[in-house]
Amino acid sequence: MSRIANKFADLRATGGKGFIPFVTAGDPDMEFSLAIILRLAELGASVIELGVPFSDPMADGPTIQRSSQRSLDAGTNLEKIFDLVKRFRERSDVPLVLFSYLNPLLRFGFDRFCSHAVATGVDGLLVTDVVGFEAIEIGNQLKANGLDLISLIAPTTSDERLAEICRIASGFIYAVSRAGVTGVQKETSGGARVLVERARRFTDLPIAVGFGISSAEQIREVWQYADAAVVGSAIVAEIERSVDDGNAVEAVEGLVSRLLPEIAKDV
């Protein structure tokens, strides 16, 4: 059983729900990135999503786009990200998922990617811009290497596509709460609950809901019907605000501490 499967099995056994933070690897630099994800692990992250920076992140809103650019400007590439994962894995067993567009993976070489991922301690991969045969091919290759394919579903995904996506996915399903790009929202879309209910017809995998979640109230709402909540842009925005003063770790800790203690009372 993978680290991701073990984590969700433990949560289900205790009636708990998952917290999945997202940060862009190398934002604002590799040393801060390592310190941030280690602190997130200490603060109770169930799984950590590490974004692979890309020069044309079309599925992401301005906040994560800027984080990608800061990371690229700092010289981040997949080799350095794998070194980051290796250093993290020496100190934590919290599952790590790389969140990437296809282009960086193809440039690196997918066979090479899989071997590095296994060697350094990556647990899964989410590729934002692959569908159909490409997704099946990638899923099969990841499975052969003991890695999970984390798949995205959206309110616009048809039942036919849901069935196909759920069939090849592993680890967990990432349900996008609304159509559009990433970014903080004041309210969680009602379509997210419907989407999760639809997906349950096709899979027993845990389902995490993300895109725009930024408050304790929103997380608590998601936990009523899903297995985990993903918080991305709100965390990345805290990092951005603290770039100049060097307090990125403290800023992220402050945000998470405002979210999790209040939520924990209701779980």
Phi and psi, residue 180, nearest 5°: 115, -160
Radius of gyration of the chain (CA): 17
What's the gap between Cα 167 and its chain centre?
20
Is position 137 annotated as part of the catalytic site? no
Q: C-alpha angle 189/194/148, rounded to 5°?
A: 95
d(CA 252, CA 257): 9
Do residues 146 and 2 lie in contact, with contact meaning Cβ atoms separated by under 8 Å? yes
Give which of 77, 76, 75, 88 is closest to 120, Cα–Cα: 88
Is position 262 annotated as part of the catalytic site? no
- In sequence order, the β-bridge partners of residue 19 are 229
pLDDT at 58: 83
pLDDT at 180: 46
pLDDT in tens, the chain (267 residues): 899 999 999 999 999 999 999 999 999 999 999 999 999 999 999 999 999 999 988 878 899 999 999 999 999 999 999 999 999 999 999 999 999 999 999 999 999 999 999 999 999 999 999 888 899 999 999 999 999 999 999 999 999 999 999 999 999 999 998 554 444 445 455 789 999 999 999 999 999 999 889 999 999 999 999 999 999 999 999 999 998 888 999 999 999 999 986 544 443
> Model-level pTM?
0.93
| 160 to 154, 157, 166, 207, 248: CA distances (angstroms) | 13, 8, 10, 18, 43
pLDDT at 208: 98
Q: What are the tens digits of pLDDT across the range 66-94?
A: 999 999 999 999 999 999 999 999 999 99
pLDDT at 78: 98
Q: Residues near 211 by Cβ (< 8 Å), separated by ≥ 6?
A: 176, 177, 178, 180, 182, 183, 185, 230, 232
Catalytic one of 27, 49, 148, 221: 49
Q: Residues near 41 by Cβ (< 8 Å), separated by ≥ 6?
A: 48, 88, 92, 94
Phi and psi, residue 112, nearest 5°: -65, -40
pLDDT at 138: 96
Catalytic one of 60, 123, 227, 240: 60
d(CA 131, CA 129): 7
